Amino acid sequence: MTADFDTIVNLAKKRGFVFQSSEIYGGLRSAYDYGPLGTAMLRNVKDQWWRSMVQLRDDMVGIDSAIIQAPQVWKASGHLASFSDPLVECTNCNNRFRLDKLDNVDQCPSCGKRDTFTEPREFHLMFKTNMGPVESDDNVVYLRPETAQGIFINFENVRRTSRMRLPFGIAQIGKSFRNEITPGQFVFRTREFEQMEMEFFCRPEEADTWFEYWLEERHRWYLDLGMTPDNLRLRPHESDELAHYAAACSDVEFDFPWGWDELEGIANRTDFDLRQHAEHSGEDLTYFEEGDERFYPYVIEPAAGATRTTFAFLLDAYREEEVEGETRTVLKLDHRLAPIKAAVLPLSKKPELTEVTQRVASELRQTYDIEVDITQSIGRRYRRQDEIGTPFCITVDFDSLDDHQVTVRDRDTMAQDRIAMDKVSAYLADRFAG
């Protein structure tokens, strides 16, 4: 069980993690803007993914492909023909639903009337637009619904230029767009979102082994970043759930406030995509090594959502604790995900303290995302920093002027250490390494 849904949504809005998009115009449904803290945290999630998937590995490279690609890409991938959801409309209240997400297909969840649904029709999920100044059928293009295809169409470019040999992976982080019928649950399902996807190319006979390997790796990634083990599970897909391209798929699921739901899908995409693009483009996308026959590599794909994962980490980290008869709200985020690593808090606004505060802050700023907060009582400032998950608060007081020391408070234990000012950076480095 994680935090209450409304509590997290309110915290996210109140503290500047996520805002409703176009709020001053009444808001655009299902679109969100990330505020200062949300932007920093989302960037941290993506950085951690990139670090573990690309930076720390010698079998991986990264790319950044265009959002708008040739329309043939979507024909070859199968998206033009089959990327749709079954939509039904209630003839009483006119609300629309995804048939496959309804608990009871005979009763409208909105108005409660029975037998009011229209026949299902397939609703296409890709956003369509035109490329160039004239709107015509000849220049229709689509916003990508997944980052994966940008990787497949660059397989040969990347293999040739980076001289990678099997098995190897190509990773990408970027925006994707889906005209979801029922967006909702805050940033869980939106029409514009960010994905973190990796396509791992391997020999067909090794695909099952690599599939198991990536299931374990990806599960471990969330745990390593502090996610509560009980809030996470791996769920293999039933055969009727599998996407048209997949031979096997398991989801990493998180215990959201409405129940278990998908964070990431790990699929064995076989050689479907490379074969399709080879056939449609006429390019040779097979793989060759000395002494071997040409063949199409198989692909294992861990596909995660950056925005959805950020939301899950927020839910997972939320705690309310009783401290000396009062309730303290704290986000127990891993320091690598916390938007602010340390806050520097002068005990008063007197100029002598401001000057020392700025000195401490400017040194720390070289290495860490920090915040200087001079308003309100020290107790309220601690509470605010706890609520946004800042691992350390550094208080500058009048004694600091003489002893050149500051007090460092730990978010989780609330223990305080008196540290020499010029040792604070090393102190934080030590704590973050441990």
* Least distance from ligand GAP to the Cβ atom of residue 142, Å: 14
Q: What are phi and psi of 182, to 5 degrees?
A: -125, 75
Selected binder of ligand GAP within 150, 174, 257, 305 (CB under 6 A): 305
Selected binder of ligand GAP within 85, 156, 197, 255 (CB under 6 A): 197
Q: Closer to ligand GAP by CB, 146 or 255: give it.
A: 146
Query: CA 285 from chain center: how many Å?
Result: 31
Q: Closer to ligand GAP by CB, 197 or 373: give it.
A: 197
Please identify, among the stretches 48-56, 102-110, 192-200, 358-366, the one whose residues bind ligand GAP according to the rule CB under 6 A: 192-200
* Least distance from ligand GAP to the Cβ atom of residue 330, Å: 26
Q: Is 195 in the site for ligand GAP (CB under 6 A)?
A: yes
Q: Is 206 in the site for ligand GAP (CB under 6 A)?
A: no
Q: Which amino acid is at 229?
A: P
Selected binder of ligand GAP within 262, 363, 369, 387 (CB under 6 A): 262
Query: By rule CB under 6 A, what count of residues binds ligand GAP?
Result: 19
Which residues share a beta bridge with 321? 328
Q: What are phi and psi of 174, to 5 degrees?
A: 180, 175
Largest CA distance in the chain: 78
- The span from the CA of 295 to the CA of 298, in Å, is 9
Q: Is 199 in the site for ligand GAP (CB under 6 A)?
A: no
User: What is the DSSP annotation of 51-116?
Assistant: IIIIIT-SSEEE----SB--HHHHHHHTHHHH-EEEEEEBTTT--EEEGGG-S-TTB-TTT--BS-
Q: Is 307 in the site for ligand GAP (CB under 6 A)?
A: yes
Q: Closer to ligand GAP by CB, 208 or 262: give it.
A: 262
Q: Is 315 in the site for ligand GAP (CB under 6 A)?
A: no
Cα 257-260-261 angle, rounded to 5 deg: 100
- Burial label for 124, CB within 10 Å (0-12, 13-18, 19+), is middle
Please identify, among the stretches 78-86, 131-139, 303-311, 398-406, the one whose residues bind ligand GAP according to the rule CB under 6 A: 303-311
HSE value, Cβ hemisphere, 13 Å, CA-based, for 162: 18
Which residue lies nearest ligand GAP, judged by its C-beta?
Answer: 305
Please identify, among the stretches 201-209, 253-261, 262-270, 408-416, the one whose residues bind ligand GAP according to the rule CB under 6 A: 262-270
Which tokens in the block code for residue 102?
């309804």
Selected binder of ligand GAP within 47, 180, 212, 369 (CB under 6 A): 180
Selected binder of ligand GAP within 265, 302, 346, 389 (CB under 6 A): 265
Cα 63 to Cα 46, 48, 54, 174, distances in angstroms: 14, 16, 10, 10
Q: Closer to ligand GAP by CB, 301 or 386: give it.
A: 301
Q: Is 77 in the site for ligand GAP (CB under 6 A)?
A: no
* Least distance from ligand GAP to the Cβ atom of residue 338, Å: 22
Instruction: For residue 221, give the nearest of 212, 209, 232 by alpha carbon.
Output: 232
Q: Closer to ligand GAP by CB, 178 or 384: give it.
A: 178
Q: Closer to ligand GAP by CB, 169 or 305: give it.
A: 305
- The span from the CA of 105 to the CA of 89, in Å, is 11
Q: Is 150 in the site for ligand GAP (CB under 6 A)?
A: no
Window 340 to 399, contacts with ligand GAP (CB under 6 A): none
E strand intervals along 186-258: 192-202, 232-236, 248-256
- The span from the CA of 235 to the CA of 266, in Å, is 10
Q: Is 263 in the site for ligand GAP (CB under 6 A)?
A: yes
* Least distance from ligand GAP to the Cβ atom of residue 172, Å: 10
- The span from the CA of 307 to the CA of 43, in Å, is 10
Q: Is 38 in the site for ligand GAP (CB under 6 A)?
A: no
> What residues line the site for ligand GAP (CB under 6 A)?
146, 148, 178, 180, 189-190, 193, 195, 197, 262-265, 301, 303-305, 307-308
